[in-house]
Amino acid sequence: MPFINFSKDEIQCKIIYYGAGFCGKTTNLQYIYSKTTGKTKGKMVSIDTKGGDRTIFFDFLSLNLGKIRGFDIRVQLYTVPGQVHYDATRKLVLKGVDGIVFVADSLKVQRKKNIESLINLAKNLAEKRLSIRTVPLVMQYNKRDLGGTDSELLPVEILEKDLNSMLKVPTIEASALKGFGVFETLREISKLVVKEVSRKVLSMDRL
């Protein structure tokens, strides 16, 4: 649910980067943070990171996306820890979610992990009475920079078949490390979330 702060004329939306361990969720936020400036830029906080780069709680980045009907739209980006045994933390971070970026690791060796993580997302949403079929969701196929001749990457068609054949959500090919596709992903999920938020704000007007 978006949080509407009437004293500040601000609507806050929560977008969560979800996916298997090591798929590149934290790297997405780090890239966004490194490229935003001025009025848009907020704070980035990484809570409890072990051994340099494994998230064991969450990362948080707040950004200002402009206005709808006089309200500032502030998006709060979170990542979950992807490793299997941090499921309780993932459930905690999912609380109040408005939109999800599912980051899939394009490496062939991670094929099963992506599928397991998507099933885990569906299950954790269902526990919150949300459906993976209706929540604003985009899918990012990450690490596309690693493609070579003897490619260790899954072709996009396989990723589509594994992860998106039922959902049919927007997909973006990306490299969080090099930066391509990162802002496209953020734009796409923000568009879906803002559309949903506007619908809720307008329906409040009719009450």
Q: Which residues bind ligand GTP (CB under 6 A)?
A: 19, 21-27, 53-55, 79, 81-83, 142-143, 145-146, 175-177
Please report whether residue 28 would count as binding Mg ion according to CB under 5 A. Answer: no
Please report whether residue 124 would count as binding Mg ion according to CB under 5 A. Answer: no
State the binding partner of 83 from Mg ion, ligand GTP, none, CB within 5 to 8 A by kind. ligand GTP
- Between the alpha carbon of residue 101 and those of residues 67, 69, 139, 182, the distances in Å are 22, 26, 6, 11
Please report whether residue 26 would count as binding Mg ion according to CB under 5 A. Answer: yes
Please report whether residue 89 would count as binding Mg ion according to CB under 5 A. Answer: no
Which residues from 58-87 bind Mg ion, rule CB under 5 A? none
Radius of gyration of the chain (CA): 17
* Start-to-end Cα distance in the chain: 18
- In eight-state DSSP terms, residue 20 is S
Smallest gap, in angstroms, from Cβ of residue 148 to ligand GTP? 11
Q: Is the Cβ of residue 120 or residue 197 nearer to ligand GTP in the bound state?
A: 120
Distance (Å, whole) CA 75 – CA 98: 10
Q: Is the Cβ of residue 2 or residue 81 nearer to ligand GTP in the bound state?
A: 81
All residues at 6 or more sequence positions from 178 whose CB lies less than 8 Å from its CB, including other chains: 145
Smallest gap, in angstroms, from Cβ of residue 133 to Mg ion? 26
Distance (Å, whole) CA 114 – CA 99: 19
- In eight-state DSSP terms, residue 110 is G
What count of Cα atoms within 13 Å lies in the side-chain half-sphere of residue 99? Answer: 28
Element (H, E) at 72: strand 71-79
Q: Is the Cβ of residue 49 or residue 62 nearer to ligand GTP in the bound state?
A: 49
Q: Is the Cβ of residue 142 or residue 185 nearer to ligand GTP in the bound state?
A: 142
State the binding partner of 160 from ligand GTP, Mg ion, none, CB within 5 to 8 A by kind. none
Please report whether residue 55 would count as binding Mg ion according to CB under 5 A. Answer: yes
1, two tokens:
């649910």
Q: Is the Cβ of residue 89 or residue 164 nearer to ligand GTP in the bound state?
A: 89
Please report whether residue 120 would count as binding Mg ion according to CB under 5 A. Answer: no
Residues at the interface with Mg ion (CB under 5 A): 25-26, 55
